[in-house]
Chains A and B, each alone.
Chain A
Amino acid sequence: MMNEWKEIANTMENTYLRKWKESGRAAVGYPCTYVPDEVIYAADILPYRLRGTGTTSSSIGDTYFGPVICSFPKCVLQLAGEGRFNFLDGTIIVPGCDSMRRLDECWRKAADDYKGILPGFFHYFGVPHKVTDYSLMWFYEETLKLKEKLEKHFGVTITDKALKVAISVYNESRKLLMQLDKLRVKDKPVINGEDALSIILASTAIPRDEFNKMLRKTLSQLEIKKETIKGKKRLMLVGSINDDPEFMKVIEDCGAVIVTDTMCFGSRSYSDLTEEEGDPLFALAKRYLNHAYCPRMFGYYKPRLKNIMDRAKKAKVDGIILQNIRFCDLHGSENGIFERDLEKEGIPCMRMEREYGPLTESGRVKMRIDAFLERIS
């Protein structure tokens, strides 16, 4: 079963996606956890989270983006330019941060030079940077606009009933992922971070109901699994986007196991449920604007610190890796204060800057992890 998860995690066009497309249904890409996938799912469209996995060059990314930009959007643009997202019928752009925001123009401009890479549906989804009554209302209207645009472009109707079903399916998914969390944080974990990440990645690339079915099966297997992980240092991973199970492997091969995280391809995407009562669209807006904060939400340092501390305590971690992709100042800077405050609480931390994409620097990463593990042993 784990091999199937890994195959989905490591392949752009996985079997489920291909079957979905063969059945004549559409797929829409989205870049971050602030997009309510349920709205897309309720339109019978496959929500597919954009990743830059498998890039071997950044020639296209570097043509449109400047030199001091995070490698994640560059890799996404690279794949788009190579036509590897041509299976998508639509894309949603989110102002997750300055670099991700500019994926909008860079993708559109690249499409002038690389014909056919711009999906028919290309939508900018505004997300406020704080939570207030008026920003929630703004976000609700954005969600409503997204719904209406999807309806118009794809000729579908997204009913309240379909939204409620989607909410229920996604909530179930989140509950299952929380169950997986419990297996990760056990004194003797039955699954490592690499495998857990593969499962989480699959949740963003295949239909959610299929995902739930598969995860239920995996959980039942894990719950009776005799073989446990012993004698490893228990680590937590915090910071910029990571969708690379190989990165987790490099860390874990040094003699560690990643038992918890606050990553966006991680607990941040499933630790809050959507209310199932009332107006479903408003419930989604509320959940997505309020969900475990990314540092793009300015001024929520303390709740984020508390989240890390709570999860670290629950998972009994020996140390925390605070990593950021180079030029990701939002995570990178906050990691600096996290380090100060977490070390004060007696939690050993290691800050690490890295590149997104192919592991060209695994030697350096390994050496730093080795040194950190030595420090906390």
Chain B
Amino acid sequence: MRKETKEYNFDWNMWTILENASKTADGFRKEYETLLNYIPNYRNVLDAFVRHGEPGILFLKIIAKYSNDCVRAHIEGRKTAGVTFCFATPVLYAFNIQPVTLEPWSVLGTVVLKRGTSEFLDYCSELGFTETSCSSQRGSLGAYLCDLATKLDFVVYDSPGICDTNANSFAFAASYLDIPFYQLNYPSTLTDERAKEYHHADFKGLISFLEEQTGRKPDMEKLREIMKENKRQDELTCELLDLQRLKPSPMPPIYELMLYGGRFMMNGTKEYTQLLESMVAHTRKKAEAGKAGTTSGNERARGLFCYIDHYTTDGRLWDFLDKRDISHMGSILFNFWQKDSLYAAGKEDEGYNLEDESLEAIIDSLADQMSRMPMVKQIRGPYDAPGMWLDDTLGAINIMKPDFVVYMGTMGCRNTWGMVKPFVRDLEKHGIPTLYIYADSFDDRVQSWEAVADKLEEFLKIRKIIT
């Protein structure tokens, strides 16, 4: 690792950037435009958020607050938990624990920093963590392992049985740093009574672990407040999904990132509710005007990203879509399987419902929510089993009517790379043009964004999606 990289803590450095970025729209337009010249490494993505007005600016404020909360957790007497993106955060907030979610940190680093997170990715390998492991964790994990970030008090993760590569990152972190950990472990089925009992028992174990680590019981009042926000957020998410499916889709492509990014960091908080309210209001306006969510207001094609998006330096995927008038119809990260969501219609047993009558009911419903998180739901069993990846993707295709599907992920994703070829073949058999891209959403060195964009362009042209 370069000497200069070690001069500032990664998270503190990121916080200063994000904090300043969140204030850029507070000044005059001319000031803002001048400022963009000084931030060549992330001006596109910053401008993309600012261009979207209130929701974009609220999102910038959310990530600034989140990074501030992470950096200041210990100063404010809060414990920090290293967690994965598919871990629903309400339970941690209920214990006043600060979730330090590695994947969003990796995204933020790769989007904002000149060299992305390459040095932290490589630092993990220097310590013995395999270079073939998932870059979504490695991108920020390196900073936590080399003591260039807020110390993690413990690790909680919910990916064993879902994605062993993800789980292995957290197991490695806990072993390397010699800190306590708790794993939620999932069976390959979702809806049967046996699986439900397993989820609930395992989640109760998590509660005991958190009690042990914090020395406190869950605060009922706080829990109810979080559940209230959580419920409201579910309602708003469902409404947004409903609007998104219209033709043309009135939801701007970048809202997709804002929806799941906010959720992974601050699910259950008031700030996230405010963001969703703003996103819904703006999308509704576009819908009323019969306009697409793209900058031009037109929709030439609709793309579904069946796994994740592409984030490397300056996050140009959304700009790519916007410039071509392509609506983003969601990714695996976009859907949380609330019982009332469109996706769950006719498949209510696959969704969750938030209950707040008693502590027991709250805990069980949070366990259900956790077990339906993106990826936790879809890739726990054979991809072609009922309620799993293929079923959900076909369901999304049926609802969102995309013109094409794209798989992109990380080269460390053993789980999806293990079956993506037959998966894509199955989608093509259903008549949907599907592309899988050999690239890494967090590491430009595997394949540059420019090469990815070329591949996308070529695919859209050859399959006559955009002529």
Contact = CB atoms under 8 A, between A and B. Distances in A.
B164 A97 contact: yes
A307 to B, nearest CB: 14
B17 interface: no
B198 A105 contact: no
A106 interface: yes
Given A68-B412, A138-B187, A333-B129, A129 B167 contact: yes
B161 A336 contact: no
Contacts of B174: 299, 301
Nearest to A298: B171
23 contacts: A66-B417, A66-B420, A67-B417, A68-B132, A68-B412, A69-B414, A98-B163, A98-B414, A101-B415, A102-B418, A102-B419, A106-B418, A109-B425, A124-B188, A129-B160, A129-B161, A132-B205, A134-B202, A138-B198, A327-B132, A333-B172, A334-B175, A340-B127
B155 to A, nearest CB: 9
A327 B168 CA distance: 12
A301 B179 CA distance: 12
Given A126-B188, A298-B183, A299-B171, A97 B414 contact: yes
Contacts of B161: 95, 128-129
Contact of A64 (B175, B183, B413, B422): B422
A130 interface: yes
A95 B411 contact: no
A100 to B, nearest CB: 9
Contacts of A102: 414-415, 418-419
Nearest to B420: A66
Contact of A332 (B130, B183, B194): B130
A336 B168 CA distance: 13
Given A95-B188, A105-B384, A124-B188, A67 B438 contact: yes
Given A66-B420, A130-B185, A298-B167, A105 B382 contact: yes
Interface in B413-440: 413-422, 425, 438
Nearest to B166: A98
Given A99-B414, A102-B418, A332 B132 contact: yes
B140 interface: no
Interface in B155-214: 160-161, 163-165, 167-168, 170-172, 174-176, 181, 183, 185, 187-188, 194, 197-198, 201-202, 205
Interface residues of A, number: 50
Given A105-B383, A333-B133, A299 B198 contact: no
A337 B145 CA distance: 12
B418 A98 contact: yes
Interface of A: 63-70, 73, 95, 97-99, 101-102, 104-106, 109, 124, 126, 128-130, 132, 134-135, 138, 141, 295-296, 298-299, 301-302, 324, 326-330, 332-337, 339-340, 351
A327 B417 CA distance: 11
B346 interface: no
Contacts of B171: 295, 298-299, 301
Contacts of A126: 187-188
Contact of B421 (A66, A129, A327): A66
Contacts of A324: 130
A336 B11 CA distance: 25
A238 to B, nearest CB: 13
B443 to A, nearest CB: 13
B215 interface: no
B27 interface: no
Contact of B417 (A68, A130, A335): A68
A95 B414 CA distance: 12
Contacts of B165: 98, 329
A218 to B, nearest CB: 37
B160 A130 contact: yes
Contacts of A101: 415, 418
Contacts of A67: 417, 438
A296 B164 CA distance: 8
B418 A99 contact: yes
Contacts of B77: none
A329 B412 CA distance: 9
A167 to B, nearest CB: 26
B133 A329 contact: yes
B128 A106 contact: no
B172 A334 contact: yes
Given A299-B174, A333-B133, A337-B172, A129 B418 contact: no
